[in-house]
Amino acid sequence: MSKEIVTDLRKKMTSAFDAVHKDFSGLRTGRASPNLLESIMVDAYGNKMHINQVGNINVPEPRLLTVQVWDAGLAPAVEKAIRDAGLGLNPSAAGNVIRVPLPELSEERRKELVKVAGKYAEQGRISIRNIRRDGMDQVKVLEKDSHVSEDESHRLSDEIQKVTDEFIKKVDEALTQKEKEIMQV
């Protein structure tokens, strides 16, 4: 029972870390990455669809993304969605291929992106600490109901704290890496 609690918490913390990593991948750095466009929603066929459901995203050059739209009739909608996404991108369509050049980031914009990355990391840390709190509550209930001894309860609490520290450290390392990536000129 006690091993199951730690295993379950580890899975939940992994999910929280993955969410932070996904948030980081959407932040623009100096290099082109398909992840930059993946969260964009396009009005297609009367529904909102992710951009990767209406075309292929490619990186032909370090500072250029292309979207090969499968249905040429959707090209204007995809172009509009990219322009309106608030990423500061200016796409241009040529048939069913949309070229998205990535402009140089200004120093000011880089600092803003570092702050956004910091907010994402803090949200991840908060999620991980909330998962820890839930785990500690489970251990207290088990001890109260006499399912585990007091010593076992302390051992479990220490183990939960070690797992929490491990994941907080992973988030901090990912943030440091992302900050370096963003500030690299």
Query: What are the phi and psi torsion angles at 49 (to 5°)?
Result: -130, 150
List the beta strands (DSSP E) in 27-184: 41-44, 47-50, 55-61, 64-69, 92-94, 97-101
Tell me, what's the pLDDT at 173?
95
Rounded to two decimals, what is the model's pTM?
0.70
CATH number of 2-25+106-183: 1.10.132.20
Tell me, what's the pLDDT at 40?
84
Tell me, what's the pLDDT at 5?
86
Instruction: Give the total residue count for the chain.
Output: 185
Tell me, what's the pLDDT at 148?
85
* 93 Cα distance to chain centroid: 28
* Ranges of the chain whose pLDDT falls below 70: 1, 28-30, 86, 185
Does the structural domain 35-101 have CATH classification 3.40.630.10? Answer: no
Q: Is it true that 2-25+106-183 and 35-101 share their CATH fold?
A: no
Each domain of the chain, given as residue ranges in start order, spans 2-25+106-183, 35-101
Tell me, what's the pLDDT at 185?
63
